Amino acid sequence: MRVSDAGMHRLPGTIAPSPPALWLLGLQNAQMVSAFIIAMLLLTAAGGVYLSGGTKTAMPHLFYLPVIVASFLMGLRGGLITGVLAGLACGPFMPLDTLLGTPQTSINWLTRMGYFVLAGGLAGSFSTVLTKQLQDLRHAAFRNPVTGLPNRAAFEEQMERALRIADARNQQVTLIKVRVTQMEPILSTFGYDQADTLLHMLAERLHAVMPFNAKLYYLGPGHFAVILPSSGNPGGKGDSEKEKAISVVMNMLDEVRQPVLLEDIPVAVSGHSGIACYPAHGDDVLTLTRAASQATDRAVDRDHDFAFFDPASENDYRDRVLLLSDLREAPRRNELELHYQPLLDLQSGRCVGAEALIRWQHPTRGMVPPTDFIPLAETTGLIGPLSRWVARQGLEHLAGWHKAGLDVHLSINMSARDLENTSLLEEIDLLLRQHGLSPQALTLEVTESAVIDSQRSCFALLRRLIARGYGVAIDDFGVGQSSLAYLRDLPATILKLDRGFCTALADDPRQQRIVRATVDMAHEFGMQVIAEGIENENVYSQLQALGCDQGQGYLMCRPLPEANFRDWLANRA
């Protein structure tokens, strides 16, 4: 979608475009300077004509120079007026022959004036077209075409200016960033045109709630920024500035979260904000922008409306960046390994399967917990390569167990991004065929939240996987938005109860009733139930009595490296 020029000019905050010649002069009083230059050129031309012997020579052509210069400095009107002045200066007061004092005829100087005016009109018209094109180029360079707001280039230019002013006046500048979230469902449901419409509407709403001294910018996909100069006395950096920033942020978030009609359907998105202040959080544009981005990340991660930049968190942020860089190289450096936690049939006690759990042995950090690097991989797109590595290693180990006569199945974890990656699923199919394994030997575990958040696309895919023979397990069931009634629609063969269900299960009758109801209903819909986090005999016995099918936990066995797990499995067999 393209926003009309009219719509763009209703929106605020860019630097007003200037004619190109005035940019080059770079002076406050450019019009006066231009007039002085043109006057000097006219006087010089007149002096040259007079001293050369009058208009009988070719020197009157000197007057074209001030006419053309005036056209470019002052536009069409300036060119026409200067053409008239040039005609008069080289007209009735300028003799045809200076030495003899012979005057010009009227037709002579009027014709010459006509030529000067024509030259001024042509040059002025060309200057006007050129200026308009340069203005359009500047407009395109400094505005976002979707929202009509100033873009990142304009933001950086204005931020530099705001910091210089604040430094001179010993004042504070507050930078606010707002990230619009939940845009992906809009794109997948309505398409890019409607998503652009949504962003344009949000831009107009946000502009409407801007304080008079604040400027709104659009930095990139779903990211808005506000430069909020201090409105107080020099040196004023107290709580009042923070309160003003919080007020602006809350007004913006209220507007972002108001439903928007797209194709006559009310659609709502959400948003989070980060706040950074000059000079406390940075003394240049790059540092301050990075601080606001980190604060926004923290607000998103913690599901808070907003967060101020915390200098203590910068080390954590840098540590995450370094960890991400190392994670990219971890598979190549053979730093990753799989540990396996057994899945036991709770009625017979027999080991029927194992869950593959990735571990990272970092050369300097030691064993990095999965909770530190898996979320990082999911948010940066590295989860795909990690899932591929897990599938390759896990299926290779599974094939080895089967050849050794150890009849178990394998469970591997999949993220929401993995389910959207058709090439990954095709590779898993190929790996199964290469190792002579059937899809029934593999269970794909997906968290309940991932299934619920992308159910429109996820449900159909999971049903296809089940139809091909794969096991599909809904992991961490019970911690998300689902209810027992929702079980009817879940495309799964296995339900994995979150470990929270096992806490105090032996002593809490209400917890027992919830587990029994979940198990009974899952069985009604043809699903098996696995309990996670079994850590004592009482919980094990209760789960047996409640009809739970399988379980895993430290009571039976902790996750083991592949060699140790194979020995454990062989001894148990």
According to DSSP, the β-strands at 351-362 and 409-414 are parallel
pLDDT for 490 equals 80
- Residue, of 94 and 513, whose pLDDT is higher: 513
Residues identified as active-site: 532
pLDDT for 120 equals 84
> In Å, what is the CA distance from 412 to each residue of 67, 183, 470?
80, 29, 12
What's this model's pTM, rounded to 2 decimal places? 0.60
The rounded distance, in Å, linking the Cα atoms of 272 and 189 is 22
Q: pLDDT over 90 for what percent of the chain?
A: 38
SS3 537: helix
Average pLDDT taken over every residue of the chain? 84
CA 276 to chain centre: 18
Domains of the chain, residue spans: 5-142, 152-311, 338-572
Taking 90 as the threshold, does the pLDDT of residue 433 lie above it? yes
- Residue, of 490 and 6, whose pLDDT is higher: 490
Q: Is the four-CA dihedral 370, 372, 375, 379 of positive or negative sign?
A: negative
Structure-block tokens of residue 336: 């990753």
Q: What is the pLDDT of residues 99-130, one digit of tens each?
A: 777 787 788 788 888 888 898 888 888 888 88
pLDDT for 565 equals 95
12: confidence class by pLDDT, cuts 50, 70, 90: very low
483: confidence class by pLDDT, cuts 50, 70, 90: low
488: confidence class by pLDDT, cuts 50, 70, 90: confident
pLDDT for 239 equals 66
Q: What is the pLDDT of residues 299-345, one digit of tens each?
A: 988 889 999 998 877 777 778 888 888 998 998 899 999 999 999 99
Q: Which CATH superfamily is domain 338-572 in?
A: EAL domain (3.20.20.450)
pLDDT for 23 equals 44
CA 516 to chain centre: 44
Instruction: Please return the burial class of 220, using the count of CB atoms within 10 Å of its CB with bins 0-12, 13-18 and 19+.
Output: exposed
pLDDT for 263 equals 80
SS3 393: helix
453: confidence class by pLDDT, cuts 50, 70, 90: low
66: confidence class by pLDDT, cuts 50, 70, 90: confident
413: confidence class by pLDDT, cuts 50, 70, 90: very high
Q: What is the DSSP string of 233-293?
A: STT--SHHHHHHHHHHHHHHHHHHTS-EEETTEEE--EEEEEEEEETTT-SSHHHHHHHHH
CATH code for the structural domain at 152-311: 3.30.70.270
132: confidence class by pLDDT, cuts 50, 70, 90: confident
pLDDT for 571 equals 87
502: confidence class by pLDDT, cuts 50, 70, 90: confident
Q: Of 482, 505, 477, which Cα lies nearest the Cα of 493?
A: 477
Contacting residues for 199 by C-beta, under 8 A, at least 6 apart: 146, 147, 180, 218, 222
Q: What is the pLDDT of residues 375-409, one digit of tens each?
A: 888 877 788 889 999 999 999 999 999 999 999 99
Structure-block tokens of residue 84: 């008239």
Taking 60 as the threshold, does the pLDDT of residue 484 lie above it? no
Taking 60 as the threshold, does the pLDDT of residue 7 lie above it? no
Q: What's the whole-number mean pLDDT along residues 1-24?
A: 40
Structure-block tokens of residue 432: 């199964």
